[in-house]
Structure 1
Amino acid sequence: MRAPLQALALRTCRQHLLEHGVCPPGALGERLARSWQRSLAAGLLPVARALPDPLGQTQLRDLRASQHELLAHALPAMEYLFEQVRLAQGMVILADAGGTLLHTLGEGRFLSKAERVALSAGATWHEAQRGTNAIGTALAEGEAVEIQGAEHYLEHNAFLSCAAAPIASGTGRLLGVLDISAEHGRWNPYSLGLVNTAARNVENRLLCTLHPGQTRLHLHPRAEGIGSLGEGIVVVADDGCLIAANRSACAWLRLDARQLGTPPTRLEHWLPLDLAQLHALHQRQPQQPLALRLHDGRTLYGQLHPGAAALGLRSPTRPPALSPAVPNAPNATMVGLPGGTAHAPTDALARLDSGDSGWRSACAKVRRILDKPIPLLIQGESGVGKEWLARAAHASGPRHERPFVALNCAALPEGLIEAELFGHAPGAFTGARREGRTGLLRQAHGGTLLLDEIGDMPLATQTRLLRVLQEREVTPLGSHKAEPLDFFLISASHRPLRLEVEAGRFRADLYWRINGLMVELPPLRQRSDFEALSATLLQGIEPGRTLALSAALLQAFKQYPWPGNLRQYANVLRTACAMLEPHEHTLDWQHLPDDLRAELQASPAPAPAHAPASPAAASAKATAPTTLGPLPHSLIQLEQAAVQQALHNSGGNVAQAARTLGISRQTLYRKLQGLRG
């Protein structure tokens, strides 16, 4: 901690500056001398009292809206800092990259003094307008600074002592500055360290937000330092080029964040491993930091956080592409690593893994049967991504170069399903095509056949399909010649087929024929990878454009039940992206359809963490059900309302809802089918 210069020495230096245009050599620290000389060059006089007008309320509101991400991530840090300076009646301030104060936290008599020098939201504290001050000087110098008392260039600011630290992006762009200010006589000597630490925390949080869906490598000289505030973070593109890094990473890797991308800098410049090899190591030891020996002999410990963009989730209208590094490998790619072998899959199934354990488990199971004559059954609610999984399974298997044929059994009239599936001979029936029809079963020969929503297939068609699957040959309608069949069979349904069998709506023998391996995909409301999934969907909707969700909107999306799951969510994001202005990169409330915005904003917000309820109130709240509407009058309506209420209160967890109702999951599934029917 440096000792502040005495007021007399400062007054002498200021007079010398005014008379000679330069500070006396060696009298001031270099940084303070540079700031004073910049202030004089801006035409400011130390005795000046005129202050620029602060922004009006409308301008301030617009500025805050444009700085939403910075505010959202800085506010928690500001609240923490304020608790540290409350006793000294200090203030915590956030300014943008131009020095305009976006938000302040303070209380007590110091506020009235601060307002007299316009230390309030909307005022500008850029050096060119306020002379030497912690906010403006931190922006000018690009590093944390402390300005005490008479070190301020303008004399009427001498009652202040301030410490400020800039907040920069992972590419070195200044985003804003965080500041602590207090009366000079009540100054906390640890303020500079506090504000610098808080600013680094905000930078790390913003680094992840501003580069959604990208792979991150977290670094530290000690394995125990991974996950700590001092860790280094590097953002890596899918091709292995560095695109962003925080200050710690820049220091340890000896790079300048402002030079990233010009020219592209690859990870292998520091490490003897490429990104694919790091992914492979991560797959083997996902929870353990890796010892990474740099080319210069130093060792850093690293932990990989695979990004959704690198995992390559694709739209169901396009089959997931194979890894560009291994275009001819149909199955999971095996990547060799120094000192041993690793077997980390990089196939289309692996690229569906954006962090949810349910999806990861399903993909791992599916991968084991791709080269075996075992049919796959995918269960899950409508819109959860069953076709995505089916297409990824086809692209990852040995039949990836052969046809992938999909039939939605619920979308065709009952009378046409047989003709679509089995084909027909020329003129086989009235309205038949003159040249006949091959049929989807024969089109899929050698490849993969997906029977989507097979639970909606009529019983008569189920009987004939069963025979085809047993005999592995098909006879088109109107023909007597059997055609051989060979395909990987995937079936999918939102209906619980076992319950459909119990209800007599689905043939038990067909169920056991298509159910070689059954996997159930979780609904969106139960997935743990919501943020990564959102980033991936946005990248697919607007490729090449960096988009993000505002913090408030992301939180509202997480709490919404999403009855249409991924299909509904993707449509919402696609519409919101269409509402963006060319200069906008953050989706917010104004970009949503009116009906969804009203529904989201009408949802009750969670209780604030800083104001806990009394134990009695908390207990009453935990046991009191959330009502969904008026009390029904008939027994059937009452039962339906009870089922819906239990599902709502359990967040869609069927097992928990069944326990609440005192019935089995199978009984609850049957009642849900009754609701849908």
Structure 2
Amino acid sequence: MPELARVDGPHMGQTQLRAATDRRATLIAQARPVIDYIYSQIRDSGCVMLLSDENGYLLESAGDTDFCTRAAQVALQPGACWAENTRGTNAVGTALIEGRPIVVNGTEHYLRHNNFLACAAAPLVEPGGRMLGVIDISCDARRYHPHTFGLVRAAAQMIENRIFELTFVNQMKLRFHLSSACLGSVMEGTLALSEDGRIIGANRTGFHLLGLTPADIGERDIASALGIGLRELLDLNRHAQGRPVALHRRGSESMFIMVEHVRPPQFLPGNLPAVAPKTTTEDALGALDTGDARVHTAIAQARRVLGRKVPILLQGETGAGKDVFARAIHASSGRAQKPFVAVNCAALPESLIESELFGHAPGSFTGARREGALGRIREAHGGTLFLDEIGDMPLHMQTRLLRVLEDGYVTPIGGKPVPVDFLLISATHCDLKARIGTQEFRADLYYRLNGLTIALPPARERTDLPELIERILAREALERGDGTQLQLAPELAGAFARYPWPGNLRQLAGMLRTACLMLDTGDTELRLEHLSEEAQAELNRKHTAPPPTARPVTLRARADALIGNAVAETGGNVAAAARKLGISRNTLYRRLAAGAIPPEATKTLQPRKLNS
């Protein structure tokens, strides 16, 4: 019988909600396009779509304004917890408990004030069987239609399939169904296979059609599930030349199958490597290993300190993937279920960086939030704090950060010290040792940050560029949602191979995304004409590599070389050179007076203004 008394469940504040959405960034990114699409089909019908995490906290919503206002009165909005142990029987919480789609209509809700709701919800499960969250459609109970239940189940399957494809973008996949017409549709079953034929992931239909359980992932091989080994399966698929193959299983219905793999498997039974095969699903770090030796070394270095509280310093050019690498370290560590808090030190105004990082007590200064603020460092408690562009942090903030790292306590503005525990990952494109030499960065902080330095290569030096392009195109194909496989025309592939990519992977991904948006329906080949005019001109421009120069052997010499290059590149404009180096003009003038650059280079200097 519904409870008469109103029960207010826990509700996250904005800071907590932001941390929760950061933790579930992948889930939200894959769910959002599906939510937008499904909601576009039911817009103006008086409903709201909701996404929750595995604990029942609502993270995202999309709905009609009038109904959302009414739903907010019973906390049916982001930040609220709808776990069954806090609100009794309800679609979100009960779907999490039972692990299956469910409808809770009207008086079936435990709390009486929720009786006006009709809610259909379906759980979201990762390829290994772990619960990720719930997708829900709620409306006024008087307007509920049975089709809503079908919509929410279809939405869950679409989201799970997107997560599956993203997780195993570089793995061999087996697609199958009892009907050949269902291959390539949202209804197909899909398995991800290791190079020795083990099942390392499955989508919901795959689990159902083959009777798999989460315990089978990483343990069972394809022969035990289908009665046919990997080599025979590949032979059948090769002879079929891209057409579905009918597999007749003893004592079971025939099944139509297709094998899809990014590159030919190297290790088949009878040709196994000397090392033991992996027995677990590939983690986030492993997914970044696409063939480049330097990236492989970087991943191996990161793995050696996983589980240990060793600060990591990532070095590499802007756009080289430091943020992605940091997130992969977090996702592969024992802190994966805790917050990942990213702070761009170069983007924060100097007047706000202290309160943003360290937090403040209520009313501690003019303009402070009435309820106070945790600060980004405390938000990362238990998880990972990622300080991007650490070289741009002001000196007085460096002092405060050093104290936190040494003591393990953070002191909010106007507050008392609070203990914190986090893994620190920093990143920079600067030469921090050179900045120490110019007194722009604290040496003691550098050695605190530098538990392990990992260097990421620029895009122009990576040997796995084709694999990176393939991965980006696979992601873009998922966004298109039409099941196509995108590829580069030979002319464009050649231009990409010759181009030095000054903007690195960020530039590459942006160029490919724009090109994919220019494709006509049904077109799967990207050509030069799909790029913007600016991108075409950039690719066609001749790029000459600068002549190699001897690397300075001392810290002072390296700092002098940086100053000399900056002065030369700005035509002797000291103010511009100082901005480029990230130092004050007075500091630059002192270094020049001390002979930081050769005398002949000083001829380009512009006259110094008085009182500058």
- Give the TM-score normalised by structure 1: 0.45
Q: Larger radius of gyration, structure 1 or 2?
A: 1
